[in-house]
Amino acid sequence: MIGLNPSPILPPSAPTSWPLGARVKKFYFEHEPACTAGFFIAGFLFDMLAVGRIDRLGNIIQQAAYLFLCALLTGLELSEIYGGFSPPRRLQTFWRYHTTATHFMLGTLLNIYTVFYFKSASLGASLTFLLILAAMLAVNELKPFKTSGTTMRMGILSLCLISYCTYLVPMLVGSIGTWPFIGSMAAAALVMGALAWLLQRRLSSQPYAICKHVLIPFAAVLACFTWLYFAKLIPPVPLSISAIGIYHDVSRVGDRFVLTTTRPRWKFWQRGDQSFLSRPGDKVHCFISVFSPARFKDRLQVRWLFLDLVAGWQESDVMPLDIIGGREGGFRADTIKSRYQPGRWRVRVETSDQRELGCIDLTVTEDDSAAASPTHTVLR
């Protein structure tokens, strides 16, 4: 034995001796909350590129499938907590990751509805909404909140289900308004009631569990959503503003619109002539493109407001706008303001019940220069 100098033996648990798959699993188990949050955010990023038209059949089916799978996995998780379900041996490996899969699908769904509902909102509002959702998930995965995880996931599932019904029902009936909204809430309640009934059959000895984990979260989300709707804080999906801008002239040539603007090219952030230089005889044109699903008909209104330095925003005109859906680029229209005065103006596109779809501000200034401003044209 003298003279032997054996090489040191690494312990079996050393990560460098593990296969790649084992090291990935070890990393996941050690950083599960962060990984779960990452999958949640990945759902948002994935669908930012994948989401298309709101009325695309593939999108509608995908969302329905995700809602079904999320309800199935969350329902089985609740059954497992109360002893009504035990995963079969062949599914135990998959079941270890069912929470991650649920979070990924919920992230995808919430991203779709964020895009749909907040398309006409500011970028800051959309980012704030995303950050709040990510924070909810991170808190949900902390140890003090582990026992409430199923309840919080059921609450997010309720939000996704209500959002799905809120745009699907108006799209099916071809209009928006109070009655389609009430129908949407009734459809969501019917689906959640069916889920609660199925869980009650499996957990007949735990009626309080169904109320705590399913009915109360859904009722809270439903009440909040209803309040936001009647407070006019929810955009009127499935409608959305495709384009809105201020121009000196709008004319139609065939199936295209010719938009005339005097905006200097360096003001690239403005949508047309938002700094409107007015000469005698000029009219202010507001060009609007509104997307709505196929076979959708409704009436909007375009409200012109003027900022009085003492009394605030004052209504000047309200112009009706009938829209017909189906066109990929949106239903296009031109509203004209011929009587105006210098100062700040705002054009707001609303539904018939005065829910804002989009708006644009402009400043009218009299142009006293001798030379006419150069004009540029844009085709829509």
CATH number, domain at 309? 2.60.40.1930
Residue with tokens 């745009």: 167
Please report how many Cα atoms fall inside a 13 Å half-sphere around the Cα of residue 256, on the Cβ side: 6
Verify that 221 and 369 share a domain, yes or no: no
Verify that 265 and 297 share a domain, yes or no: yes
Verify that 274 and 129 share a domain, yes or no: no
The closest of 47, 75, 39, 44 to 158, measured between CA atoms, is: 75
Asked if residue 98 belongs to a domain, the reply is: yes
**Whole-angstrom Cα distance, residue 161 to residue 179?**
18
Verify that 212 and 313 share a domain, yes or no: no
Confidence at residue 47, expressed as pLDDT on a 0 to 100 scale: 60
Verify that 212 and 254 share a domain, yes or no: no
Asked if residue 152 belongs to a domain, the reply is: yes
Query: Which positions of the chain have pLDDT values less than 50?
Result: 1-14, 120, 122-126, 140, 143-147
Confidence at residue 174, expressed as pLDDT on a 0 to 100 scale: 84
Per the structure, the complete domain to which residue 325 belongs is given by 240-379
Last residue of a domain, one of 189, 204, 230: 230
Asked if residue 10 belongs to a domain, the reply is: no
Structural tokens at position 319: 């112009």
**Whole-angstrom Cα distance, residue 123 to residue 93?**
40
Please report how many Cα atoms fall inside a 13 Å half-sphere around the Cα of residue 37, on the Cβ side: 16
Contact 194, 262 (CB under 8 A): no
Asked if residue 368 belongs to a domain, the reply is: yes
Verify that 171 and 308 share a domain, yes or no: no
Which amino acid is it at 348? Answer: R
Contact 276, 340 (CB under 8 A): no
Structural tokens at position 37: 């949050």
Please report how many Cα atoms fall inside a 13 Å half-sphere around the Cα of residue 346, on the Cβ side: 14
Last residue of a domain, one of 211, 230, 249: 230
Last residue of a domain, one of 187, 212, 230: 230
Structural tokens at position 115: 């895009």
Asked if residue 4 belongs to a domain, the reply is: no
Asked if residue 5 belongs to a domain, the reply is: no
Strands 275-278 and 356-366: parallel
Verify that 287 and 370 share a domain, yes or no: yes
Number of domains in the chain: 2
Verify that 145 and 222 share a domain, yes or no: yes
The closest of 52, 79, 376, 81 to 203, measured between CA atoms, is: 79
| SS3 at position 7 | coil
Verify that 138 and 186 share a domain, yes or no: yes
Residue 251 DSSP label: E
**Whole-angstrom Cα distance, residue 345 to residue 117?**
26
Verify that 71 and 160 share a domain, yes or no: yes
Verify that 86 and 162 share a domain, yes or no: yes
Q: How many beta carbons lie within 10 A of that of residue 278, not counting itself?
A: 17
Verify that 187 and 264 share a domain, yes or no: no
Confidence at residue 265, expressed as pLDDT on a 0 to 100 scale: 82
Backbone angles phi, psi at 351, to 5 degrees: -80, 175
Asked if residue 86 belongs to a domain, the reply is: yes
Q: How many residues does the chain have?
A: 380
